[in-house]
Chain A
Amino acid sequence: GAVVSQHPSRVICKSGTSVKIECRSLDFQATTMFWYRQFPKKSLMLMATSNEGSKATYEQGVEKDKFLINHASLTLSTLTVTSAHPEDSSFYICSATEDTQYFGPGTRLTVL
């Protein structure tokens, strides 16, 4: 089946730094990838739709200057959390679409 990877799986950083999370589709090409955020014991909230070769589409309430998304190739999308603060601490999950959405294993971000 289709495999999606994320890197890193876990990151701890100081407040004010920027963190980049990579999402890769390993055995298929994905023109569309999605980025979600999940708080403990909560559901997934869609942050943005990443489109290869064009600008990402952000959901209402998500700051595009805070969460930079780049989808430079058909197998890679990156999410950069800029000037991270403790409230950005969360579990970030990406997915890539083939016939259905395949999800990455997630990245646990902790901002101190």
Chain B
Amino acid sequence: SQQGEEDPQALSIQEGENATMNCSYKTSINNLQWYRQNSGRGLVHLILIRSNEREKHSGRLRVTLDTSKKSSSLLITASRAADTASYFCAGSTGGGNKLTFGTGTQLKVEL
């Protein structure tokens, strides 16, 4: 399988704490994207980092990319209960923007 791996599989933290999720992938990518999914719903695009970028910020999100290690991390700072969701990384390969998704991290932020 070409699917990427994410760890941890599940993460439970208190509101206000930071949450870090890691993603490793197997093939070369054009870019790497992070998505959020609430239970039983569609995916929401969070952030895209290109293969020639090392770090990117968007609000409370910080993404890093290490192409030499084929890994990426997503940091959510000052987490809120509303951040509770599953988070997936997805590598874009080839033409046509084809995405290969990681296994996902289920984040639970408790009050």
A contact residues vs B (CB 8 Å cutoff): 4, 6, 32, 34, 36, 41-46, 49, 91, 93, 95, 97, 100-106, 108
Contact = CB atoms under 8 A, between A and B. Distances in A.
Interface size class of B (residues with CB under 8 A): 20 to 34
A49 B45 contact: no
Contacts of B104: 42-43
21 contacts: A6-B42, A34-B99, A36-B101, A41-B106, A42-B103, A43-B88, A43-B101, A43-B102, A44-B43, A45-B3, A45-B101, A46-B101, A49-B96, A95-B99, A97-B97, A100-B33, A100-B45, A101-B33, A102-B45, A105-B41, A106-B42
Say what secondary structure dominates the interface of chain A: strand
A36 B99 CA distance: 10
Contacts of A105: 41-42
5 smallest beta-carbon distances between A and B, as pairs: A105-B42, A103-B43, A103-B42, A44-B101, A43-B101
